[in-house]
């Protein structure tokens, strides 16, 4: 008989940090789980998502004694919107996260889905960073233009919904790549993705301007191989079996870098939701290992 995974039973805390960008400031907010003295894990969401996507993973890691911090990146969820759409970029996010990361005053691990993985790669390449282990969820050193065009297309729609079930149906359609989720899990994603408008309708919980950088320039392949070669830490690469964003050939080439491991997640596209026990346990096992350990990671 297998022993059930212990999960964190207490409700999450919230935290905030005022970030100054010359000449403006914005507040970064996050949801936090686990003991304050636990080894930190930073979990960063995808382009249009929020930190609440990681609730299931966070409870599991917190139950293992980790302090899990799930920020809402600027323009999403409970964090402030930026004054100009053109400012929504990985460079801005790295700058904004820096004070919070420095305040930890200790090494930390990182789990990043899609955009969150790109931010993690950028942080890992900074001189003097204290990032120990990196989990890249369905994102890598090369992103094909076609995948970005698909994301840009659904972001261009200014949609509102009469009620939560309608919003949930929309999420099920555009995020089918998350995999086979339960009705309760889809409802959780809908509840944490919704923002009420003054006329009583619901919209997705992000600033529509986050898509402005994509709209201002035509979709093109994103080549991050130079950044990838700068990384010197253990990396677990998760790839959705049917992902259009992290291609098999990209993952294979990334494995040439020492310290990189790959797990292909069946039944998923872009990106695995990290809500099933098989997926969360996979991440937890990797983060529990010592830096110099080389145990095989399997889904």
Q: What is the CA radius of gyration of the chain?
A: 18
Is residue 151 one of the residues assigned to a domain?
Answer: yes
Please write the tens of the pLDDT for every residue from 162-181. 999 999 999 999 999 999 99
User: What pLDDT does 216 receive?
Assistant: 82
Domain harbouring 107, CATH code: 3.40.50.1820
Calpha distance 108→104 (Å, rounded): 8
Is residue 68 one of the residues assigned to a domain?
Answer: yes
Q: Which of 13, 68, 72 is nearest to 280 (CA)?
A: 68
Let me know if 290 is exposed, middle or buried by CB neighbors in 10 A (0-12, 13-18, 19+): exposed
Calpha distance 8→33 (Å, rounded): 8
Q: Which of 114, 88, 95, 110 is nearest to 40 (CA)?
A: 110
Let me know if 57 is exposed, middle or buried by CB neighbors in 10 A (0-12, 13-18, 19+): buried
Distances (CA, A) of 107 to 49, 104, 110, 154, 293: 26, 8, 10, 37, 17
Enumerate residue ranges in the chain where pLDDT < 50: 1-3, 291-296
Overall domain count for the chain: 1
Q: Which of 141, 115, 128 is nearest to 237 (CA)?
A: 141
Per the structure, the complete domain to which residue 115 belongs is given by: 13-288
Is residue 8 one of the residues assigned to a domain?
Answer: no
User: What pLDDT does 298 receive?
Assistant: 55
Dihedral sign for Cα 223, 282, 105, 55, please: positive
Is residue 256 one of the residues assigned to a domain?
Answer: yes
Q: Would you say the pTM of this structure is higher than 0.85?
A: yes
Please write the tens of the pLDDT for every residue from 194-208. 999 999 999 999 999
Calpha distance 210→213 (Å, rounded): 7
Is residue 279 one of the residues assigned to a domain?
Answer: yes
| Sequence-separated (6 or more) residues with CB below 8 Å from residue 103 | 17
Is residue 6 one of the residues assigned to a domain?
Answer: no
Is residue 144 one of the residues assigned to a domain?
Answer: yes
Is residue 2 one of the residues assigned to a domain?
Answer: no
């Amino acid at each position: 008989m297998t022993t059930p995974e212990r999960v964190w039973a207490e409700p999450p805390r919230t935290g905030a940090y005022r970030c100054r960008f010359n000449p403006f400031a914005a507040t970064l907010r996050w949801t936090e789980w686990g003991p304050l003295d636990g080894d930190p894990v930073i979990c960063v969401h995808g382009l249009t998502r929020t930190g609440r996507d990681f609730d299931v993973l966070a409870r599991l890691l917190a139950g293992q004694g980790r302090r899990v911090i799930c920020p809402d990146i600027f323009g999403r969820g409970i964090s402030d919107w930026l004054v100009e759409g053109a400012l929504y970029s990985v460079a801005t996010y790295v700058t904004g996260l820096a004070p919070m990361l420095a305040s930890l005053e200790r090494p930390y691990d990182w789990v990043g889905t899609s955009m969150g993985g790109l931010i993690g790669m950028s942080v890992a390449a900074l001189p003097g960073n204290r990032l120990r282990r990196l989990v890249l969820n369905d994102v890598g050193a090369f992103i094909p233009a076609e995948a970005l065009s698909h994301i840009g297309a659904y972001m261009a729609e200014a949609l509102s919904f009469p009620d939560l079930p309608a919003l949930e149906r929309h999420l099920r359609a555009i995020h089918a790549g998350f995999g086979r989720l339960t009705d309760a899990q889809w409802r959780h994603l809908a509840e944490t993705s919704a923002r009420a408008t003054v006329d009583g309708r619901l919209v997705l919980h992000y600033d529509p301007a986050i898509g402005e950088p994509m709209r201002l320039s035509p979709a093109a392949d994103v080549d991050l191989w130079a950044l990838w070669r700068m990384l010197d830490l253990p990396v677990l690469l998760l790839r959705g079996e049917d992902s259009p964003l992290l291609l098999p050939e990209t993952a294979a080439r990334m494995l040439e870098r020492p310290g990189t491991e790959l797990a292909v997640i069946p039944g998923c596209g872009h990106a695995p939701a990290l809500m099933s026990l098989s997926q969360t346990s996979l991440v937890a096992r990797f983060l529990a290992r010592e830096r110099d350990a080389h145990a095989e990671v399997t889904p």
